[in-house]
């Protein structure tokens, strides 16, 4: 029987240290089917810094999450052992070394078959997380929820940044180029060639306006068709949400999705072969009333529920 979160009818949910959703720490349960891990790293950002404080803010904002998910009809923390694995301590002064540390830590955390929901941190961290997931599961289908493409080549000559992880991942052969999709894309680009490059790498794009025009069900159908039953990684940059729904982020773009749309699309993925996921780019210094960290905590809860839904 999995050990669940602290019982909020016995210990007020605002008391005690903040693990994600008040789950036990990994060292308290020994092993977990699903581990939530923080990566407080933001050295890869191109604009506002501060996502290094994302994991702590998302944990704080997750205190109110309850154990039953009505939308998916599942109690994820009873169905599987979920635990908070703490933070991966990585070098804030050396991006290359941090990327290595994250990959090694993700390998170690998943060695016994655990699947990860990682809370960032800036989007740079998706690359080492994908590497670790692909080592176990082979080339991955990817659904990337983000205002941005994150398939740019370099910034100031740097290869590992929050705008480049998915180009590196395609170059490294760790993604299944038949099954790659961006969702929620919008905003000005450097040039039309950004879109051409992205397409050449294999990505399909469902823009934020497409989601609004087509609606949730049609969007979900199209995404499910694209990914099929391949091992799937879901990466959620919280800036996929409109700044009204997620002001606390580093590169905000107007015209984004609502948190309701995002959560409903995620729920539409129930039954897919999810092998890992992340929620990144929460920068609490620009947040108000925990709007962003609450949204991110719900996204992480839904990702855990999707992982619990299917082994």
Ligand X SMILES: N=C(N)NCCCC(=O)O
Residues that bind Zn ion (CB under 5 A): 123, 146-148, 150, 237, 239
237 is in an annotated binding site: yes
CB of residue 293 to ligand X, shortest distance in Å: 16
Name the binder of 103 from Zn ion, ligand X, none, CB < 5-8 A by kind.
none
Distance CA(269)–CA(63), nearest Å, equals: 25
Cα dist from 228 to 154, 277, 309, whole Å? 31, 17, 17
- 47 makes contact with ligand X (CB under 6 A): yes
Helix (H) or strand (E) segment spanning residue 196: helix 192-201
**Which runs of E-coded beta strand occur in 186-311?**
203-207, 232-237, 274-280
253 interacts with ligand X by CB under 6 A:
no
Is 146 flagged in the annotation as binding? yes
Smallest separation, CB 44 to ligand X (Å): 8
Bridge partner residues of 185 (DSSP)? 207
- Alpha-carbon span 239 to 36, nearest angstrom: 20
Give the number of other Cβ atoms within 10 Å of residue 254's Cβ: 11
Nearer to ligand X, 53 or 309 (CB): 53
Residue 115 binding ligand X, by CB under 6 A: no
Residue with tokens 């962003």: 292
Taking alpha carbons only, the member of 271, 305, 311 closest to residue 69 is 305
Q: Which residues pair with 38 in a beta bridge?
A: 87, 119
Q: Among all chains, which residue has been given the structure tokens 């920068």?
A: 283
Q: Binders of ligand X among 222-241, rule CB under 6 A?
A: 237, 239
Neighbours of 173 (CB within 10 A): 10
Chosen residue from 251, 259, 293, 297 binding ligand X by CB under 6 A: 251
Residue 163 interacts, among Zn ion, ligand X, none and using kind-specific CB cut-offs from 5 to 8 Å, with ligand X
239 is in an annotated binding site: yes
Give 179's contacts (C-beta < 8 A, 6+ positions apart). Answer: 141, 142, 226, 227, 228, 230, 232
Give least dist CB 151 to ligand X, A: 10
- Shortest gap between Cβ of 11 and ligand X (angstroms)? 36
151 near ligand X (CB under 6 A):
no
Q: Establish if 150 lies at the interface with ligand X (CB under 6 A).
A: yes
Tokens of 80: 């599987």
Any contact of residue 198 with ligand X (CB under 6 A)? no
CB of 266 to Zn ion, least distance (A): 17
46 binds, among Zn ion, ligand X, none (CB under 5 to 8 A by kind): ligand X
Q: Which is nearer to ligand X, 14 or 47 (CB)?
A: 47
* Shortest distance in whole angstroms from residue 290 CB to ligand X: 20
Q: Are 102 and 108 in contact (CB under 8 A)?
A: no
Omega of the bond prior to 34 within 30 degrees of 0, cis?
A: no
Question: Has 150 been labeled as part of a binding site?
Answer: yes
148 binds ligand X (CB under 6 A): yes
End-to-end CA separation in angstroms for the chain? 16
Beta-carbon contacts of residue 252 (< 8 Å; ≥ 6 apart): 147, 239, 243, 246
Q: Does 42 bind ligand X (CB under 6 A)?
A: no
Q: Does 123 bind ligand X (CB under 6 A)?
A: yes
Residue 160 or residue 309: which is nearer to ligand X going by CB? 160
- Rule CB under 6 A: which residues touch ligand X? 46-47, 123, 148, 150, 162-163, 237, 239, 250-251, 281
Feature table: binding site for Mn(2+): 123, 146, 148, 150, 237, 239
């Amino acid at each position: 029987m999995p050990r669940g979160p602290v019982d909020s009818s016995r210990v007020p949910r605002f008391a005690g240290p903040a693990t994600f959703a008040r789950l036990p720490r990994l060292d308290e349960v020994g092993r977990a089917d699903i581990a939530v891990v923080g990566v407080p790293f933001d050295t890869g950002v191109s604009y506002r810094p501060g996502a290094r404080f994302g994991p702590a803010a998302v944990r704080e904002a997750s205190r109110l999450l309850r154990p039953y998910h009505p939308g998916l009809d599942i109690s994820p923390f009873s169905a599987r052992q979920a635990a908070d694995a703490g933070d991966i301590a990585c070098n804030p002064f050396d991006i290359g070394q941090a990327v290595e540390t994250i990959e090694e830590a993700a390998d170690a955390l998943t060695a016994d078959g655990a699947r990860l929901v990682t809370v960032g941190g800036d989007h740079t961290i998706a690359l080492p997380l994908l590497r670790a997931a692909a080592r176990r599961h082979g080339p991955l289908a990817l659904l990337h929820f983000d205002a941005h493409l994150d398939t740019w080549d370099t910034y100031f000559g740097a290869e590992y940044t929050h705008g480049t992880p998915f180009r590196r991942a395609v170059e490294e052969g760790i993604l299944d180029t038949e099954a790659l999709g961006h969702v929620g894309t919008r905003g000005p680009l450097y040039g039309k060639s950004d879109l051409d490059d992205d397409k050449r790498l294999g990505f399909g794009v469902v823009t934020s306006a497409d989601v609004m025009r087509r609606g949730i069900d049609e969007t979900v159908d199209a995404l499910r068709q694209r990914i099929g039953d391949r091992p799937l990684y879901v990466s959620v940059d919280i800036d996929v949400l409109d700044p009204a729904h997620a002001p606390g982020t580093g590169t905000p773009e107007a015209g984004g999705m609502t948190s309701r749309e995002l959560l409903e699309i995620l729920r539409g993925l129930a039954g897919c072969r999810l092998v890992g996921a992340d929620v990144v780019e929460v920068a609490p210094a620009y947040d108000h009333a925990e709007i962003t960290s609450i949204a991110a905590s719900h996204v992480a809860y839904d990702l855990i529920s999707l992982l619990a839904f299917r082994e």
